[in-house]
């Protein structure tokens, strides 16, 4: 029997492209001033999804025998890697060139089994971690699971998504039983297929965001028996910053428990929580024994909430 209480995140890392573009230079629907007021001075652009994931994974893999690799991507294009072959791009074989397999090859993870997590939008990394944990619980021979992925928008693509400015980014983390930085306390997800048609249901999605987010967070609190006021820090995502104080109030968590990132990452789709958690750790905000609440919403639609506890290794 595996002791599930000792599963958690052993290491995590992220990677951003080299260029940050001011919001005024980006293709957006809303005015630049409006987006700045929502906390988006610009976006990280010109990234390559596979390379960003590789850069992040290289920071977390050394010294660990990886038994399983879960590739994460929100965009359908993030699940294809460019072939070295010169055959026509119309050939269906190109559709079978997977970045997860490419990443395994690049990192030399010969022992790992590879699969992918898709259709979770910005909640993809949360979902991958959930499945990684499930693997660790279900299969005793699995000791370390690498979750890695990235999303990058095409050059000159529209960068605004429902009042959020999208950055390219990659992230990676290893879930394990040992040398944990963050102990896994609980997870809760609500998926609503009703909202699958994103273009048609934009307004309904905006309206559903808050009440369903609150239900999700209350769900994880209930599952874990933790009271809202016992949450030490809420790690936000990079979405519209004006939404977080509302969500804090809806969940009964004191405003001052919301972590305020110093850096501007934009909304990096699935990498937000990793980027911001890393920053909080680098700034020395985290101390052993802190209960952290993480939340992400992904088109599809899925609302995910995760509680982690920092260990002495933090």
Which residues would be at the binding site for other proteins (CB under 8 A)? Answer: 30-31, 34, 37-38, 163, 192-195, 203-204, 206-212, 214-215, 240, 242-243, 245-246, 249-250
Choose among 130, 128, 137: nearest CA to 69: 128
45 or 239: whose CB is closer to other proteins?
A: 239
**Least distance (Å) between residue 122 CB and other proteins:** 19
> Rg of the Cα trace of the chain?
19
| Minimum CB distance to other proteins, residue 188 (Å) | 14
Residue 147 CB neighbours (<10 A): 31
Question: Measured from the CB of residue 142, what is the shortest distance to other proteins in angstroms?
Answer: 35
Distance CA(108)–CA(57), nearest Å, equals 12
Nearer to other proteins, 246 or 313 (CB): 246
**Could you give the strand order of the β-sheet that contains 182-191, starting from the edge strand earlier in sequence?**
113-117, 68-72, 144-151, 169-176, 8-15, 182-191, 302-310, 291-298, 233-235
CB of 210 to other proteins, least distance (A): 4
**Nearest residue (CB) to other proteins, 64 versus 241:** 241
CA dihedral sign of residues 209, 214, 219, 224: positive
Q: Which is nearer to other proteins, 102 or 209 (CB)?
A: 209
If the CB atoms of residues 107 and 214 are measured against other proteins, the closer one turns out to be 214
CB 285 → other proteins: shortest distance, Å?
24
CA dihedral 125, 129, 132, 134 (to 10 degrees): -130
């Amino acid at each position: 029997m595996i002791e599930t209480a000792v599963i958690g995140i052993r290491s995590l890392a992220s990677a951003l492209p080299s260029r940050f573009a001011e919001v005024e230079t980006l293709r957006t629907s809303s005015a630049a001033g409006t987006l700045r007021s929502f906390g988006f001075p610009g976006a990280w652009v010109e990234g390559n999804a596979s390379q960003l994931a590789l850069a992040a994974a290289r920071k977390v893999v050394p010294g660990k025998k990886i038994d399983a690799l879960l590739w994460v991507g929100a965009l359908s294009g993030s699940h294809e890697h460019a072939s070295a072959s010169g055959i026509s791009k119309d050939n269906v074989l190109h559709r079978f060139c997977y970045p997860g397999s490419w990443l395994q090859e690049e990192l030399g993870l010969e022992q790992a089994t590879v699969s992918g997590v898709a259709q979770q939008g910005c909640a993809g990394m949360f979902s991958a971690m959930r499945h990684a944990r499930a693997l660790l619980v279900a299969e005793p021979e699995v000791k370390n699971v690498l979750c890695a992925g990235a999303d990058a928008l095409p050059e000159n693509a529209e960068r605004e998504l429902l009042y959020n400015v999208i950055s390219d980014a990659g992230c990676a983390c290893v879930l394990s039983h040992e040398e944990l930085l963050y102990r896994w306390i609980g997870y809760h997800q609500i998926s609503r297929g009703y909202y699958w048609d994103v273009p048609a249901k934009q307004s309904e999605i905006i309206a559903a965001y808050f009440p369903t987010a609150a239900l999700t967070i209350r769900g994880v609190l209930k599952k874990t028996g933790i009271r809202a006021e016992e949450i030490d820090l809420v790690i936000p995502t990079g979405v519209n910053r004006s939404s977080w104080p509302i969500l804090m109030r809806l969940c009964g968590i004191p405003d001052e428990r919301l972590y305020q990132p110093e850096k501007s990452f934009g909304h990096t789709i699935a990498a937000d929580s990793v980027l911001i958690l890393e920053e909080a750790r680098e700034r020395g905000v985290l101390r052993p024994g802190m209960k952290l609440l993480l939340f992400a919403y992904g088109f599809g639609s899925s609302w995910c909430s995760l509680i982690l506890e920092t260990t002495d290794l933090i």
